[in-house]
Amino acid sequence: MGEVDPAFIQAVEHRPKLSINEGQNIPLIDLSILNSPNYKDSNEISRLVKEIGDACKNWGFFQVINHGVSLEISQKLEDVSRKFYALSHDEKLKVKRDEVNPLGYYDTEHTKNVRDWKEVFDFTVKNPTLIPASHQPDDDKLRKLVNQWPEFLPDMRQVCEDYADEMVKLAYKLLELISWSLGLEGDRLNGFFEEHTSFIRLNHYQPCPVPDLALGVGRHKDAGALTILAQDDVGGLEVKRKTDGEWVRVKPTPNAYIINVGDIIQVWSNDKYESVEHRVVVNSEKERFSIPFFLNPSHYTWVEPLQELINQHNPAKYKAYNWGKFFATRKLSNFKKLEVENIQIFHFKI
C-alpha cells in the first residue's frame, strides 16, 4: 500500500464506521400520481403531499420512484460519465476548473478543510450562468460562468444538457409538492429560480486504500434549495439520522432519486424542514459514481424565512442573506485549505 497524502485523513471523530448500519432506510415515495392529468384535484395528491411533508420534517432526505425522468437519458449520462473518467488524467486536466472558471474537472476538492477522495466534473444548467464576480459584499460586478466540454467526447454536452432538462422538470414538481406541504400556493417558490444557478456534478470515487481514515465527501449540508441525486448500485452515501444522530447508509434503489432538503429550504421554512448532514464512505474494492443536481436560486435572491410562515409566535429565525454572495464565499474554500470554518446559514441566525 502506497503512502496516502495526510490531507485526506479525517480527524478521529469523523472517521466512518465500516460496519454498515443496515437499519431503517430513508422514506421511499412513489410519484406516479403526478403523471395523471388531473392530479391536482385528486384525493391521492393530499396523501402524497403529507408523505413529502413528513419526510422533509422527520428526515430531510427521501427517495422517489416513478418520477417521470427518462431512463434513456439518465442511462446515457451514466454512460458518458464513465467514459469521461476513463480518459487519461492529462485529457481531463484540459477541462480543469480553477479559480477563474469554477466549472469542469477537479480532483482536489476539500470539504471542511479535509481533502475528499473523489474527482468531479461540474457544469451549470443555464449556460452561461451569472454569479457575483467576488464574495466581497460591496463588489456589484457579475461574471459569467461558461461550461467546458472535453474534446474527445463530442456527445457529452448534449447528453448533459438533456439530463439537465429532466432534472429541472423534476425539481419543479418537487417544489410544488414541498410548497403545498408548507401550506403555500404550488408555484410560491418558482419566482426565485428565474435565472437559477443550479449545477450538476459527475462524482467519481475511486477505490481507496484507507477507507477507514478518509471519506469520499466529508460531512456537510447542501447549501442550495434542494438536491436530486442519482447513485449507482455500490452504495456509500450516509445520512445523519435526525432522531438519534446516527449515520445511516442509504441503500441504493434501482432507478430512484435521492432528494434532500438544502439549507435554503431550511431558511424559507424557518426551520420547519432542516437540511441534514450527509457524507460519502468509500471502499477499497469498487469505484462508485454518483450524480447530484443542485437546485439553486438566481444569484440576486435574498434568502429569508417566507412571510407566510412567520408570525408573532413564530418569528423569523434568520436574517436575509444574498445567495450569490453566499455561494461565492462558499466556493473559496473548495480551492484552498482555510484556517476558518466555512460560511454556514447559522451565521445568519437571529
Q: How far is the CB of 111 from Fe ion (least distance, A)?
A: 9
Nearer to Fe ion, 180 or 273 (CB): 273
Interstrand relation of 61-65 and 28-30 (parallel, antiparallel or unpaired): parallel
What are the angstrom distances between the C-alpha of 121 and each of 36, 137, 147, 213, 318?
A: 36, 28, 10, 24, 33
Q: At closest approach, how far in Å is the CB of 283 from ligand AKG? A: 13
Q: Does 110 bind ligand AKG (CB under 6 A)?
A: no
Total of chain residues touching ligand AKG, rule CB under 6 A = 11
For ligand AKG, the binding residue among 197, 231, 270, 275 (CB under 6 A) is 231
Strand partners, 291: 230
Is 222 among the residues that bind ligand AKG (CB under 6 A)? yes
Q: What are phi and psi of 6, to 5 degrees?
A: -60, -15
Q: Which residue type is seen at 335?
A: F
Euclidean distance between CA atoms 303 and 319, whole angstroms: 8
Partner from ligand AKG, Fe ion, none binding residue 290, C-beta < 5-8 Å depending on class = ligand AKG
Residue closest to ligand AKG when measured from CB atoms:
290
Interface pick for ligand AKG out of 290, 298, 333, 342 (rule CB under 6 A):
290
C-alpha cell read off for 46: 393530499
d(CA 301, CA 267): 13
Question: Among the residues of 153-193, which ranges form H helices?
Answer: 156-181
Residue 221 touches ligand AKG, criterion: CB under 6 A: no
Q: Which does 259 bind (CB under 5 to 8 A by kind): Fe ion, ligand AKG, none?
A: none
Task: Name which of ligand AKG, Fe ion, none residue 231 binds, using a CB cut-off of 5 to 8 Å depending on partner kind.
Answer: ligand AKG
Contact partner at residue 76 from Fe ion, ligand AKG, none, CB < 5 to 8 Å by partner kind: none
Q: Restricting to residues 197-216, which ones interact with ligand AKG according to CB under 6 A?
A: 201, 203
When asked if residue 292 is in the footprint of ligand AKG (CB under 6 A), the reply is yes
CB closer to ligand AKG, 178 vs 229: 229
Sheet of strand 119-124, all strands in order from the earlier edge strand to the far edge? 28-30, 61-65, 257-261, 226-231, 288-295, 199-205, 119-124, 104-106
Candidates 132-140, 183-191, 229-237, 342-350 — which segment interacts with ligand AKG by CB under 6 A?
A: 229-237
Per CB under 6 A, the list member of 69, 114, 156, 229 interacting with ligand AKG is 229
Binds 299: which of Fe ion, ligand AKG, none (CB < 5-8 Å by kind): none
How many angstroms separate the Cα of 183 from the Cα of each of 179, 281, 296, 309, 318? 6, 37, 22, 9, 20
Of 139, 108, 112, 120, nearest to 328 by C-alpha is 139
Residue 280 near which of ligand AKG, Fe ion, none (CB within 5-8 Å, type-dependent): ligand AKG
3-state secondary structure of 90: helix
CA distance 291 to 81: 9
Q: Which residues contact ligand AKG (rule: CB under 6 A)?
A: 201, 203, 217, 222, 229, 231, 237, 278, 280, 290, 292
